[in-house]
A and B are shown apart, each in its own frame.
Chain A
Amino acid sequence: MSSHSTPPTDGELGSSAAADGDDHLLTVHGLETVFRTEEGTVTAVDDVDLHLDQGEIVGLVGESGAGKSATAESILRLIESPGEIAGGTVEYDGRDVLEMDESRLREFRGTDAGMVFQDPTGTLNPTMTVGRQVAEAVRSTDPSLSGAEVRERSVAIMERVGIPNAGSRYDEYPHQFSGGQKQRIVFGIAIASEPDLLVADEPTTALDVTIQAQILDLLVELRDEFGMSVLFITHDLGVVREVCDRVLVMYAGSVVESGAVESMFAEPRHPYTKGLLASNPGLDAEAVEGQGGAPDRLRVIEGSMPDLTGAFSGCKYADRCPGATEDCRRAHPGLERVDLDGTDREVACYRHEAIDDIEYTYDHEPRTLSWRAEDERAGASAEATPGVPDAGGGRAGDDPVLSATGLKKHFETGNLLDDLLGRGETVRAVDGIDLGIDAGETLGLVGESGCGKSTAARAILQLHEPTDGTVVYQGREITGSTKAELREIRRDLQVVFQNPQSSLNPRRTVGQIVRRPMKLHGLADADERRERARELITEVGLDERHLDRRPGDLSGGQQQRVAVARALAVNPEVIVLDEPVSGLDVSIQAQILNLLSDLQEDLGLSYLFISHNLSVIEHICDRVAVMYLGELVERGTTAEVFDPPFNPYTEALLSAIPGRVETEDRIVLEGDVPDPSNVPSGCRFHPRCPHKIGDVCETEKPAVHDPGDGHGIKCHLLREEYRDRVDWEEI
């Protein structure tokens, strides 16, 4: 591994790496990359050693800021100012990539290495046809090819990566392809030279889960076909488990643990690895199962990644490590080789022997907000607190707190001219959904991007006026309320959005943001508001000094806590959470999920929780509604819907979650999410459905089957038939 570092005297004589007696295609040693910023020098990659063997897929995993992308870009020398490779060697086939001159470097990139990037849209040149972009890569590999040969090869490559009708789509532009197809084309460009090394930097992060499954399949296929070695960068442990042979865990610029994937999942030796596995609701990681803490809380890593400006003293993880001792503060530990049941493992921790004693716990003391109790006691005086219900538990459980019936929201596209000509299109973002949220429960609304779940939330909140349907809160219809009535109702219905950076006005202080809702609704006088703001900010896990700061100076997790505090300020009954943890790292996501669970328990809140992430939904929700193209396809309790799934779409979504199902059983949905302005006839899912019965799916809209237990499934296959069919297939 890293100990192997006898650089060949001169690469010119071409002693190939394989001939050196080991299998290393790529050996990185002591790599250091710094970014020189005004605040100081950030060491993004700090003395990283890694190697890739022929044909293996190595995962480089870590949270944002871990330095994994900087590592990948340094290996290919794509680091741009203000970044700078400060030291180390990147040995490929006997040569140091970092020492290559320009023309040799171009040759290396053009023929030996390929790269796939995170954002397929930004990676393709928008003003050049995709065919030409592929052809450029082909020609760069072999300049002797004729024009016709280049085209032929390019079309073949496009077909190979799964672009249907590649020949006729050769002259189309990137925007005419879907995100998944664009990423396929980027893969095509990367493998055009049949490289030995492929670097994939978060290639599926920007894609939906069903498309991610397709792309991961493609990656493994291509590896098998061309025998490439792949360096796979990701933040998603599930993806690592799915495709990687080995994995390196990075934290704050350093590799903290590396080893074979399954062994690492089974027996992490570094506390950070262990913490990451524990924070991740989707992973049924055996190693962290059944230890301490409340059952419905995740065990979390406290705090966030340290600032990498300047020099470090001690282990970089010590501040967040539950097992840190005084020894850990002396110096950052180097990687130490451990033998675990015959597999190699390297771990950078002084206390890895004691890993079993290092426990992540999560404790929360139940409490409530002081005035909330007062409000509830004073519940009788309805004038003082209009619209506020009595305490959550006191009501009959039958009636939902908030419900929507036949809710529709359509958008008209096109401008004035199109209106005049009657040419605009109707986007059926939400097309008739029924939802009900009971007091104190969490209802999950799940679906892929573009399915209309966020629009549904906005229509329920009356932020978008619904095209049709009714929304009832506390037995009172709020669709069609006057502005003044609506303002009162808004006190009870609050919302937390996905992007904490964008959901807080950057020009105000946190204190102003949290106090404003109380002022708007006249809930307290100025002194009282200050007092309450202090209490709220503590309740969401921050402290008073944060009140004077502006959102730009807080981390993403802290910003999201402020957004939650703002929602709580008006003492609401229902909070709509629109992808509240999607923009956050796993460890921070776990913190916020726990916070939300605590608040629900303490304050008796009801949540509508919107997410594309089924693992998160499964973890936090009592009941789930699955949405596809503006319609609900299934709803019921979390267990009814997920365990086992009865709707083909739900089943496919679940099976697409990486790292959960054995690859052989996976259902990979073909094609892309259709356009909501042009919905398929009959069952909207039929063009992608793996269990399509026949014509009935194409012509008839399926009705909702509800055997009476509240579990509704929209599919032509009845529940029993579905089970039968699946069983039959398994035989």
Chain B
Amino acid sequence: MSLARYAARRLVFLVGTLFGASVITFALVNVLPGDVAVMILGTSGSQEQVAVLRQELGLNQPVYIRYIDWIAGALQGDLGRSLRFGDPVAALIAQRFPASAFLAFSALTIAVLVAIPLGVVAAVEQNTWKDFLTSVAAFAGISLPNFFWGMLLILLIASYASLLPPSGYVSPFVDPAAAVAHVLLPASALGFSLMAHITRMTRSSLIEELRSGYIELAKMKGLSDRRIVFRHALRNAFLPVLTVIGFQLGFLFGGIIIIEQLFAYPGLGRLAFNALLSRDAPLIQGSVLTIAVVFMTSNLVVDLLYAVIDPRVTSGGGS
């Protein structure tokens, strides 16, 4: 099986999962106990007001009809109109999307660039003080909530040291330098736990690979330690790391909501959070579905990357 065929297969699975995800998204808002109309109007709304709103929202129709209407619209790019803003949900999302994408990408980049070298050093110099310090730092990274790191960064770097701005967003296409300055703190806070997880996994996976048979063969070829680590072990050790990255992306995308809130960062996460607070049902559905699609797509990318690195994946079974 070629890589293209593998990708095609994964895509088919993705479509199936996506369908399931859309059902769940819709169900979260429409089937769980709690009347959307009451949610919107709060306890102050009279019975007539509720009835009128229900009519307006089409809530009197059976739930599956409403789902079909919604998903049919969604397939044509129409996610309905926000109850609060009155604008089309799709437009609102499109407007906020780039900021969040930039934030997530920066967080991922920072995490990978810092964590992999740290993990390699810890593995190669196993049981030295470097390894110990890295382990301690990694444990700290996974033990504190990202918003706590965010607050700490705001306090130390933005407030006390005034090195970087504590909030806001500048598009990297408008002013790259300012964009980086603005994104650095939230991205670090967001990427910290991912960084810790990648470091730990790189370390343990590299240690395991360095014990495997092909390393002995490489030694018998007379290769240098450097070549053995970087050409042989690291590539294989990266596979479980990739799995961890895929897994942790879910936490990263979830973390965006909190981090954007903390750093007053105008992205999709804030939009979704505000929609949740104002019970803006179409906007909730739209943004939740969008985040799920992005998450699934990233996982697809991770899977394909895995297949590129490990040729056994595309040949089924393997050895």
Do chains A and B make direct contact within the complex (CB under 8 angstroms)?
yes
Tell me the A residues contacting B by CB distance below 8 Å: 76, 78, 80, 106-111, 113-115, 117, 119, 121-128, 133, 136-137, 140-141, 173-176, 186, 189-190, 192-193, 413, 417
Task: Count residues of B near A (Cβ-Cβ below 8 Å).
Answer: 29
Which residue of the partner chain A has the closest CB to B213? A122
A78-B216, A176-B315 are known contacts. Are A127 and B222 too (CB-CB below 8 A)? no
Most buried by A among B221, B232, B236, B319: B221
Contacts of A133 in B (CB 8 A): 217
Taking a contact as CB atoms under 8 Å apart, the answer to whether A125 and B319 are in contact is no
A106-B223, A125-B232 are known contacts. Are A117 and B216 too (CB-CB below 8 A)? yes
Q: What are 18 residue pairs bridging A and B, where the CB atoms are less than 8 Å apart in the complex?
A: A78-B216, A108-B222, A111-B222, A114-B220, A115-B216, A123-B214, A123-B216, A126-B310, A126-B319, A127-B236, A128-B235, A136-B218, A136-B223, A141-B222, A174-B319, A175-B318, A189-B217, A417-B9
Interface of B is mostly: helix
Taking a contact as CB atoms under 8 Å apart, the answer to whether A117 and B213 are in contact is yes
Contacts of B219 in A (CB 8 A): 78, 109
Report Cα–Cα, A117/B232, bound state, in Å: 17
Pairs A-B, 8 closest by C-beta atoms: A110-B222, A122-B213, A175-B319, A125-B214, A173-B311, A123-B213, A106-B222, A137-B221
Which residue of the partner chain A has the closest CB to B9? A417
Report Cα–Cα, A512/B41, bound state, in Å: 65
Report Cα–Cα, A505/B154, bound state, in Å: 55
Taking a contact as CB atoms under 8 Å apart, the answer to whether A122 and B312 are in contact is no
Taking a contact as CB atoms under 8 Å apart, the answer to whether A189 and B213 are in contact is no
A-B contact count (CB 8 A): 86
A110-B221, A110-B222, A140-B223 are known contacts. Are A417 and B12 too (CB-CB below 8 A)? yes
Which residue of the partner chain B has the closest CB to A114? B220
Taking a contact as CB atoms under 8 Å apart, the answer to whether B221 and A189 are in contact is yes
Which residue of the partner chain A has the closest CB to B13? A417
Contacts of A176 in B (CB 8 A): 315
Tell me the B residues contacting A by CB distance below 8 Å: 9, 12-13, 211-214, 216-224, 231-232, 235-236, 239, 309-312, 315-316, 318-319
Contacts of A127 in B (CB 8 A): 235-236, 239, 309-311
A109-B221, A126-B312, A173-B311 are known contacts. Are A121 and B319 too (CB-CB below 8 A)? yes
Contacts of A128 in B (CB 8 A): 231-232, 235
Shortest distance between the CB of A366 and any CB in chain B (Å):
48
Which residue of the partner chain B has the closest CB to A125? B214
Report Cα–Cα, A123/B232, bound state, in Å: 12
Taking a contact as CB atoms under 8 Å apart, the answer to whether A122 and B310 are in contact is no
Report Cα–Cα, A123/B221, bound state, in Å: 12
Which residue of the partner chain A has the closest CB to B316? A413
Report Cα–Cα, A137/B316, bound state, in Å: 29
Contacts of A110 in B (CB 8 A): 221-223
Contacts of A123 in B (CB 8 A): 213-214, 216-217
Contacts of A113 in B (CB 8 A): 220
Shortest distance between the CB of B216 and any CB in chain A (Å):
6
A122-B214, A125-B236, A417-B9 are known contacts. Are A190 and B318 too (CB-CB below 8 A)? no
Contacts of B218 in A (CB 8 A): 125, 136
Contacts of B232 in A (CB 8 A): 125, 128
Shortest distance between the CB of B98 and any CB in chain A (Å):
35
Contacts of B236 in A (CB 8 A): 125-127
Contacts of B224 in A (CB 8 A): 106
Most buried by B among A76, A127, A137, A189: A127
Shortest distance between the CB of A175 and any CB in chain B (Å):
4
Select which of A119, A121, A136, A413 is within 8 A of B221 by beta carbon.
Answer: A136
Taking a contact as CB atoms under 8 Å apart, the answer to whether A140 and B211 are in contact is no
Shortest distance between the CB of B303 and any CB in chain A (Å):
15
Taking a contact as CB atoms under 8 Å apart, the answer to whether B311 and A109 are in contact is no
Report Cα–Cα, A147/B216, bound state, in Å: 25
Shortest distance between the CB of A413 and any CB in chain B (Å):
8
Taking a contact as CB atoms under 8 Å apart, the answer to whether B312 and A186 are in contact is no
Contacts of A193 in B (CB 8 A): 222
Contacts of A80 in B (CB 8 A): 211
Contacts of B213 in A (CB 8 A): 117, 119, 122-123
Inter-chain pairs besides A115-B220, A136-B218, 9 sampled, C-beta below 8 Å: A109-B221, A109-B222, A110-B222, A117-B217, A123-B217, A125-B218, A128-B232, A175-B311, A189-B217
Shortest distance between the CB of B295 and any CB in chain A (Å):
22
Report Cα–Cα, A540/B231, bound state, in Å: 52
Taking a contact as CB atoms under 8 Å apart, the answer to whether A76 and B220 are in contact is yes
Contacts of B222 in A (CB 8 A): 106-111, 140-141, 193
Contacts of B312 in A (CB 8 A): 126, 173, 175
Which residue of the partner chain A has the closest CB to B308? A127
Taking a contact as CB atoms under 8 Å apart, the answer to whether B315 and A124 are in contact is no
Contacts of B216 in A (CB 8 A): 78, 115, 117, 123
Which residue of the partner chain A has the closest CB to B127? A81
Report Cα–Cα, A137/B218, bound state, in Å: 8
Report Cα–Cα, A140/B310, bound state, in Å: 25
A121-B319, A126-B310, A128-B232 are known contacts. Are A190 and B13 too (CB-CB below 8 A)? no
Contacts of A107 in B (CB 8 A): 222
Report Cα–Cα, A107/B309, bound state, in Å: 31
Shortest distance between the CB of A164 and any CB in chain B (Å):
20
Which residue of the partner chain A has the closest CB to B212? A122
Report Cα–Cα, A660/B309, bound state, in Å: 46
Contacts of A413 in B (CB 8 A): 316
Report Cα–Cα, A88/B316, bound state, in Å: 49
